[in-house]
Structure 1
Amino acid sequence: MSEGPNFPPLLTGEELTGTSDPFVKACTEATLGCDAGLVLYNLHPDRLETAIVLAPETPLEQAMAAFCAVGVGLQNALGALAPPEVAVHLDWSGTILVNGAACGQLSVAASTSEPGEAPDWLVVGLTLPLIPPSEDAPGDTPDQTALFLEGCADVDPVALLEAWSRHTLVWLTQLDDEKGRETLHREWRGLAWNMGEDVTLKTGETGTFLGVDENFGMLLRGADGQTQLIPLSERLKRN
């Protein structure tokens, strides 16, 4: 493993240790007025945790596209570092899937929950398990996995963090451009898990996942044939 990650221009890394949670710390730092582009990370032996602080200049519902940009950035990074047979998908709720099993989670928080209000800050966090918490019978939880169980034992977590930050920055810098957002939209749709299939959301809602609108809100068709739009801002972590 290399000594420490190198981040691209516009991003500033800060390492945390022990049990410090980068997502919680990033939200605290954002509330205190830290600069945008701060990346907090904690490289545990069994998992990678990181979070990035952003300062959107668009209404919250449009700014939520950053949540998807971070996920696509991870897929791009794993695509560059992992064996070609490793398939990465993104669930609309933020779950990361590797070879069809849950392998990590994206989280998002903002200074406001009002869709039409531009947030002072927005934080997107990423947790990615590297090895399972226990070596006992990994087959007992076939719907959950860890990166190193999926042929990625040679992927250096520091190199992965670096690659994720580079790819994510590329997508984030395109969000102010209409064509860039359209490109992200196409890329994310190609990675979306269960699109076109029946899904059950964590809120208990069920229906057919038809797709997403221009702001990545879910189009969900219920049993009554009616389609509802669920804004992506519903994924915000509430303080």
Structure 2
Amino acid sequence: MSEAPAFPPLMQGHAVDAGIDPFEKACAMAALGCDAGTIVYSVGVNRLAGALVMAPEVPLEEAMAMLPTCGVGFQNALGALAPPEVAVHLEWAGGLRVNGASCGRMRAMAGSDDPKEMPGWLVVGFELPLVLLSAVPGDDPDQTALYEEGCADVDPTQLLESWARHTLVWINRWEDEGSRPLHAEWRGLAHAMGEEVEINGQTGTFLGVDENFGMLLRSGETTDLVPLSSVLESQS
């Protein structure tokens, strides 16, 4: 068994057993008032998952910048540990791409779904398959797993620790410098920008994002704004 991960100051870990979803557990803990900075995690043989509890002091739509923030933190973390030829990109709605194929996702839930209201709590999590569980590798070429992409030497506990550190760096930069540095970093990692995409039942060309990372979606002569809060998962 790996040692318990070491997280930066102001962050504290909470491990869960196999079979328990760290994201759902983190949301339940956040709703009950656990400390911001809590990272609920599971390091398994086939899957790595972690979720960070936050307490935003801005309205939800602005706080949704934490979804791409945690995504950039993940890309920076894996980029530091994986071989240099491994490419990591981020889908607008939270999907993770490794060497062009889908490889896990980021997800988010908040204490409120009102874009103009401070949500009380926000949880952003990620889940990453480490090995393919399909019977025949290659059956679905758009799906991959970390160890299939030349990353068999990446220790999942170190990746979790690195994600926490890099994410904290970007949260601090967002708080101190505003969204401009985060926008610049994220744009270089964004998947499918300039291409046709389907989001929330709408199809169009992904032109870019606004200041709150809302998607600018062009269809014919019309450009619509799809708010990032639209990808929030609903509380059950």
| Alignment match, 1:212 | 209
| Alignment match, 1:67 | 67
Residues in 2 aligned to 1:87 and 1:7: alpha-carbon distance in whole angstroms: 25
Is 1:155 aligned to 2:154, yes or no? yes
Deviation at 1:174, TM superposition (A): 2.2
Residues in 1 aligned to 2:93 and 2:120: alpha-carbon distance in whole angstroms: 23
Say which SS state the counterpart of residue 71 (structure 2) adopts: helix
Instruction: From 214, 228, 233, give the equivalent of 2:229.
Output: 233
Residues in 1 aligned to 2:230 and 2:189: alpha-carbon distance in whole angstroms: 20
Say which SS state the counterpart of residue 138 (structure 2) adopts: helix
Residues in 1 aligned to 2:64 and 2:170: alpha-carbon distance in whole angstroms: 13
| Alignment match, 2:123 | 123
Amino acid at match of 2:85: E
| Alignment match, 2:11 | 11
Residue correspondence of structure 1 range 81-230 to structure 2 within 5 A: 81-134=81-134, 136-177=135-176, 179-201=177-199, 203-223=200-220, 225-230=221-226
Residues in 1 aligned to 2:26 and 2:15: alpha-carbon distance in whole angstroms: 12
Residues in 1 aligned to 2:226 and 2:2: alpha-carbon distance in whole angstroms: 42
List gaps (5 residues or longer) in structure 2: none
Residues in 2 aligned to 1:34 and 1:200: alpha-carbon distance in whole angstroms: 36
Say which SS state the counterpart of residue 141 (structure 1) adopts: coil
| CA deviation profile, 1:21-49 (whole Å, cap 9, x unmatched) | 11111111011011100000011110101
User: Please, what TM-score do these two structures have when normalized by structure 1?
Assistant: 0.96
User: Please, what TM-score do these two structures have when normalized by structure 2?
Assistant: 0.97
Residues in 1 aligned to 2:95 and 2:78: alpha-carbon distance in whole angstroms: 15
- Whether the 8 Å CA contact 2:46–2:130 is kept in 1: the answer is yes
List gaps (5 residues or longer) in structure 1: none
| CA deviation profile, 1:117-174 (whole Å, cap 9, x unmatched) | 111000001000000113x221111000000000000000011001010000111122
State the Cα RMSD in Å. 1.0
Residues in 2 aligned to 1:79 and 1:105: alpha-carbon distance in whole angstroms: 16
Residues in 2 aligned to 1:112 and 1:4: alpha-carbon distance in whole angstroms: 32
Residues in 2 aligned to 1:108 and 1:45: alpha-carbon distance in whole angstroms: 24
Amino acid at match of 2:158: A
- Whether the 8 Å CA contact 2:53–2:123 is kept in 1: the answer is yes
Say which SS state the counterpart of residue 57 (structure 2) adopts: coil
Residues in 1 aligned to 2:147 and 2:216: alpha-carbon distance in whole angstroms: 34
Structure 1 residue ranges (4+ consecutive) displaced by more than 3 angstroms after TM superposition = none
Say which SS state the counterpart of residue 108 (structure 2) adopts: strand
Say which SS state the counterpart of residue 147 (structure 2) adopts: helix
Say which SS state the counterpart of residue 175 (structure 1) adopts: helix
- Whether the 8 Å CA contact 2:174–2:181 is kept in 1: the answer is no
Say which SS state the counterpart of residue 138 (structure 1) adopts: coil
Structure 1 stretch displaced more, 102-111 or 168-177 = 168-177
Amino acid at match of 1:156: D
Residues in 2 aligned to 1:88 and 1:125: alpha-carbon distance in whole angstroms: 17
Residues in 1 aligned to 2:18 and 2:84: alpha-carbon distance in whole angstroms: 33
Amino acid at match of 1:70: C
